[in-house]
Amino acid sequence: MEEVREGGEKEMEEVREGDEKEMEEVREGDEKEMEEMRDGNDKEMEEVRDSNEKKMDEVRDGNEKDMEEVREGNEKEMEEVREGDEKEMEEVREGDEERWKR
């Protein structure tokens, strides 16, 4: 009887150790799989970040170009107004001088 009990206990211990080993392997596999998923997500997020930064740079460049064109247009328009005002003032001065001469 003693031998049977010891045999049963030994067998149960071996089963327990086998289960523990198997559970450890499963745990390690799960951890490895999760790490791979994390790495994949990190890589994907980095690609999205890079893409977004590129798009933002393109928008920024486009806005700067648009603003520069507006600035140049405004400067040109202001110069034309200035020239028109100067011409008009010159004509007024000449008209005043003509009137004074008379």
pLDDT of residue 15: 87
One digit per residue, the tens of pLDDT, for the chain of length 102 reads: 777 778 788 889 888 999 999 999 999 999 999 999 999 999 999 999 999 999 999 999 999 999 999 999 999 999 999 999 999 999 888 888 787 876
pLDDT of residue 102: 65
DSSP labels, 15-50: HHHHHHHHHHHHHHHHHHHHHHHHHHHHHHHHHHHH
Give the rounded distance of the alpha carbon of 97 from its chain centre. 67
